[in-house]
């Protein structure tokens, strides 16, 4: 049966005329495209290629954008800058830099210099948007032509691209890096002005000779500032970005001249100079200066190194250590370095070392190398130098029969005479020219030492000398060498006695003193220097002036050695056990710590922390550290509030009773007037001081100074050994201190020390310590009547006839006792008693 029904009901779909006309047409079009797609391989390939290209572009964009630096970071960019060190006068003394860098503002850049760089590197800089399309096209062609040859194609980079490369993404040689560079260049142009981009570029571009930026390069190549450069010099700097290590060398001078003249021609083309000006500049030679050494006074070497150590401890060395690192943070450091005093200290210590060394002959090599194939490189990297007269450090290339050859770090080779028999090939030694092409060996003293000068009322260290020459080694014996101070520690034993009821006039027995050590050790008997016997009862003043060991240990024993070592610790000298030998200087300390302790004596017992840095500023000028940490609350008020003026608290710390400190200083003035430091008396200055000679003797010392300058010096071998029986602090160390004063005499005040309130000056008999009435003290060094300082109500009673009898009796007894002990000493010597018996018994002078 055939179904004849039709979908004509209300719910049946009705084909409209439009549907009837378009549906077949759409189907026919889709069919045609499908047939073309199936039949046309070219179409399919083209579409696939387009899709792949789009995917590739997306992938490339993802790769480029991954880890892409933000151009906005340049707004806060902080270039690595050296730390600049200033001395006490505010003058630049040194810069801690592994790269030469000086930042300039755009307005400080001379227009001819800017135009020279634009002519050489990017003449369309002011008009392009970050990328020079013509230059880029040329670079692509050059890259394709050189692909696979191993030769590097030209960059074609604009100055903006070079900023992106130098600061943000590095100098990797790849297509990816180049594309990143271009993207960043467009972004940089949207963030920074043209002037800001040029400022970054001209401050950061590497230009050879370890210089970054045009100011550093101007100094490195011409020893000028940028505003002093001539047109031909500016054009030379502009050629350096392409090949700084080539154009800056003498052997490539012709190439440098050719390139410089090309830059001048480009400046004429760009109408930035006239043809006549360019022709005049072309006629000039390059005029490069030789590479300069460090632009600082080598006399400051030990001081500068101590500042560096302290800065690194506080802020770190490299950029990754923090924003204020020494070699990248751009710090400005104000120090207490006094160039005049530093020079005097160095000269005096060197003179003392050379005088002691005398005619002892060659002391051995400074260093030694075994590999002679690259001796020059090893000499350079050793960093061994010397700044004394015309001496140089070189390496022995050959030697025989007192003759040989020596090579220097600059490659020069000279004949060498006076070669010691012990010298070997590979030895580093000092030599000085004696004729054209000939050098003679010079001896650096083997004995060494350290010296320091301090400002007692501030704690500022003004001078540090840690050896013969800082170029031979950075070990600073003034602050790092732990040595026995010998008798220079005695004033603090006496000061402890003064704090515990004694006075400068107190009588102390200068006689045999033994202590029982227990067990099998038996007794230990102390002796005076030189095995000298006692002199009977004498005043404390006399004992300190004459540096009597027996009186010192007796005072320490009577008041308690525990109190004495507490004084040592309080003064910052050292932390020792309560053994009597420490009262004679058997402990170890440094010259710097001793100078700081003596400074407290000179400053009426007020001590300041020893410092070499006054304050530190960051690159923007903000003070980030200062030695004086006091605050002045209310000092910066906008208006006066009607209250009393703000007061700043005293900075120092009272570590010793002021009266005690003055009494000790007054006695130490006697050490200079008639004691062991009498060599300084001829200076006719109010000076105090104390000599010291340790067991052996292995070290000789002098500590002392005035109200304004306090310092000290020691001499000794780095590996301690005897200096010889004649060596004493008064003979060797005190003259060094005297030389410093004579070299800076006009700086030393003639004003006497001022006693603190309450101290009474009383006339006494110098020998007995009794008060004398009706007799005025004279200026004679050995006057019988002198002024003595006493605390209130501690003055001695008046001198009587009985005292005169006692004085004569004691003198006679001492004379008899001395003769007896002299006979005993001779008998001991005849029986073979060891010569160092006094040393073994603790005798330290």
Catalytic (active site) residue 127: no
What are the two backbone dihedrals, phi and then psi, of residue 421, each rounded to the nearest 5 degrees?
Answer: -60, -30
Q: CA-to-CA distance for 725 and 727, rounded, in angstroms?
A: 6
SS3 at position 682: helix
Which DSSP state fits 557? H
842 within 8 A of 524, measured Cβ to Cβ:
yes
Q: CA-to-CA distance for 196 and 198, rounded, in angstroms?
A: 5
Q: CA-to-CA distance for 534 and 517, rounded, in angstroms?
A: 22
Q: CA-to-CA distance for 559 and 501, rounded, in angstroms?
A: 9
SS3 at position 299: helix
- 364: its two tokens: 């051995």
What residues have CB less than 8 Å from 51, skipping those under 6 apart?
A: none
* CB neighbourhood size of 828 (10 A): 13
325 within 8 A of 97, measured Cβ to Cβ:
no
362 within 8 A of 115, measured Cβ to Cβ:
no
Q: CA-to-CA distance for 773 and 641, rounded, in angstroms?
A: 57
Q: CA-to-CA distance for 594 and 572, rounded, in angstroms?
A: 8
Q: CA-to-CA distance for 532 and 825, rounded, in angstroms?
A: 9
**Residue 395, beta-bridge partner list:** 407, 428
Q: CA-to-CA distance for 703 and 487, rounded, in angstroms?
A: 10
What residues have CB less than 8 Å from 286, skipping those under 6 apart?
A: 236, 253, 256, 257, 260
644 within 8 A of 598, measured Cβ to Cβ:
no
Instruction: Please give the torsion angle defined by the CA atoms of residues 151, 156, 161 and 163, in that order, rounded to the nearest 10 degrees.
Output: 70
Tokens 């227009």 correspond to what residue? 111
N- to C-terminal Cα separation, the chain:
146
Q: SS3 for 547-605, per residue?
A: CCHHHHHHHHHHHCHHHHHHHHHHCCCCCCCCCHHHHHCCCCECHHHHHHHHHHHHCCC
- 766: its two tokens: 């110098």
Q: Quick one: which of 812, 815, 841, 816 has its CA closest to 828? A: 841
Q: CA-to-CA distance for 158 and 181, rounded, in angstroms?
A: 10
Helices (H), 702-831: 734-743, 801-830
Q: Which of 121, 204, 233, 532 is catalytic?
A: 121
Residue 669: C-alpha distances to residues 340, 426, 706 (Å) = 26, 52, 10
Q: Which of 95, 157, 458, 487 is catalytic?
A: 487
551 within 8 A of 533, measured Cβ to Cβ:
no
- What is the Cβ-side half-sphere exposure of residue 47, based on CA atoms within 13 angstroms? 8
Helices (H), 148-269: 159-163, 175-191, 194-204, 214-222, 231-239, 244-247, 253-269
What are the two backbone dihedrals, phi and then psi, of residue 451, each rounded to the nearest 5 degrees?
Answer: -145, 145
What residues have CB less than 8 Å from 299, skipping those under 6 apart?
A: 339, 342, 343, 346, 387
Q: CA-to-CA distance for 309 and 455, rounded, in angstroms?
A: 21
Q: Quick one: which of 695, 691, 660, 656 has its CA closest to 792? A: 660
Catalytic (active site) residue 121: yes
As annotated, the active-site residues are 121, 487
């Amino acid at each position: 049966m055939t179904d004849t029904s039709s979908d004509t009901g209300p719910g049946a779909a009705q084909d409209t005329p439009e549907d009837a006309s378009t549906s077949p047409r759409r189907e026919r079009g889709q069919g045609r495209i499908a047939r073309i797609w199936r039949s046309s391989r070219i179409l399919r390939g083209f579409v696939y290629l387009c899709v792949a290209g789009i995917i590739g572009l997306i992938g490339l964009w993802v790769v480029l954008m991954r880890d892409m630096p933000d151009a906005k970071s340049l707004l806060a960019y902080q270039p690595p800058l050296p730390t600049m060190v200033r001395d006490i006068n505010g003058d630049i003394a040194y810069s801690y830099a592994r790269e030469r860098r000086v930042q300039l503002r755009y307005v400080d850049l001379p227009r001819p210099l800017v135009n020279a760089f634009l002519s050489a590197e990017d003449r369309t800089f002011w008009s392009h948007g970050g990328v020079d399309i013509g230059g880029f096209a040329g670079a692509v062609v050059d890259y394709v032509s050189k692909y696979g040859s191993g030769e590097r194609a030209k960059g074609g980079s604009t100055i903006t691209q070079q900023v992106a490369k130098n600061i943000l993404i590095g100098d990797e040689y790849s297509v990816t890096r180049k594309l990143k560079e271009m993207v960043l260049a467009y972004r940089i142009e949207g963030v920074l002005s043209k002037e800001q981009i040029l400022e970054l570029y001209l401050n950061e571009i590497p230009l050879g000779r370890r210089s970054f930026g045009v100011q550093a390069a101007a100094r490195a190549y011409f020893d000028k500032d940028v505003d002093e450069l001539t047109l031909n010099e500016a054009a030379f700097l502009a050629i350096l970005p392409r090949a700084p290590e080539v154009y800056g060398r003498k052997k490539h001078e012709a190439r440098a001249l050719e390139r410089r003249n090309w830059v001048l021609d480009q400046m004429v083309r760009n109408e930035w100079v006239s043809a006549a000006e360019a022709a005049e500049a072309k006629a000039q030679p390059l005029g490069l200066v030789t590479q300069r050494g460090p632009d600082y006074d080598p006399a400051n070497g030990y001081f500068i190194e101590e500042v560096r150590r302290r800065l690194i401890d506080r802020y770190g060395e490299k950029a990754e250590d923090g924003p204020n690192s020494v070699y990248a943070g751009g710090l400005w450091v104000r120090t207490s370095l006094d160039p005049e005093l530093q020079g005097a200290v160095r000269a005096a210590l060197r003179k003392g070392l050379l005088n002691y060394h005398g005619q002892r002959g060659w002391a051995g090599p400074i260093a030694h190398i075994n590999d002679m194939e690259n001796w020059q490189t090893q000499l350079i990297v050793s960093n061994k130098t010397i700044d004394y007269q015309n001496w140089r450090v070189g390496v022995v290339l050959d030697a025989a029969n007192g003759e040989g050859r020596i090579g220097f770090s600059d490659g020069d080779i000279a004949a060498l005479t006076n070669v010691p028999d012990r010298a070997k090939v590979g030895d580093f030694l000092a030599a000085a020219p004696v004729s054209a092409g000939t050098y003679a060996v010079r001896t650096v003293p083997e004995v060494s030492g350290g010296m320091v000068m301090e400002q007692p009322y501030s704690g500022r260290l003004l001078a540090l000398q840690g050896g013969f020459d800082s170029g031979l080694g950075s070990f600073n014996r003034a602050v790092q060498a732990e040595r026995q101070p010998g008798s220079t520690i005695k004033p603090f034993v006496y000061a402890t006695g003064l704090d515990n009821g004694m006075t400068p006039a107190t009588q102390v027995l200068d006689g045999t003193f033994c202590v029982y050590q227990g067990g099998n050790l038996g007794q230990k008997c102390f002796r005076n220097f030189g095995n000298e016997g006692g002199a009977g009862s004498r005043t404390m003043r006399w004992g300190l002036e004459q540096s009597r060991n027996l009186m010192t240990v007796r005072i320490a024993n009577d008041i308690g050695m525990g109190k004495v070592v507490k004084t040592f610790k309080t003064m910052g000298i050292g932390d020792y056990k309560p053994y009597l030998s420490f009262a004679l200087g058997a402990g170890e300390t440094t010259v710097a710590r001793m100078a700081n302790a003596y400074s407290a004596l000179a400053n009426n017992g007020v001590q300041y922390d020893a410092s070499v840095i006054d304050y530190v500023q960051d690159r923007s000028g903000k003070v980030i550290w200062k030695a004086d940490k006091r605050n002045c609350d209310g000092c910066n008020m906008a208006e006066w509030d009607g209250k009393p003026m703000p007061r700043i608290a005293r900075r120092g710390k009272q570590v010793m009773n002021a009266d005690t400190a003055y009494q000790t200083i007054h006695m130490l003035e006697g050490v200079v007037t008639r004691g062991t430091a009498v060599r300084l008396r001829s200076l006719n200055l109010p000076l105090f001081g104390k000599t010291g000679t340790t067991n052996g003797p292995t070290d000789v010392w002098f500590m002392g100074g005035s109200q304004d300058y306090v310092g000290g010096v020691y001499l000794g071998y780095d590996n301690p050994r005897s200096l010889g029986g004649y060596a004493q602090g008064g003979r060797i160390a005190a003259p060094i201190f005297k030389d410093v004063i004579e070299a800076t005499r006009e700086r030393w005040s003639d004003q006497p020390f001022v006693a603190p309130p309450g101290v009474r000056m009383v006339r006494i008999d110098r020998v007995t310590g009794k008060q004398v009435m009706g007799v005025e003290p004279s200026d004679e060094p050995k006057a019988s009547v002198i002024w003595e300082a006493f605390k209130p109500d501690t003055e001695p009673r008046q001198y009587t006839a009985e005292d005169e009898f006692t004085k004569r009796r004691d003198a006679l007894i001492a004379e008899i006792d001395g003769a007896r002990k002299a006979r005993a000493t001779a008998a001991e010597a005849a029986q073979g008693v060891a010569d160092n018996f006094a040393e073994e018994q603790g005798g330290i002078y």
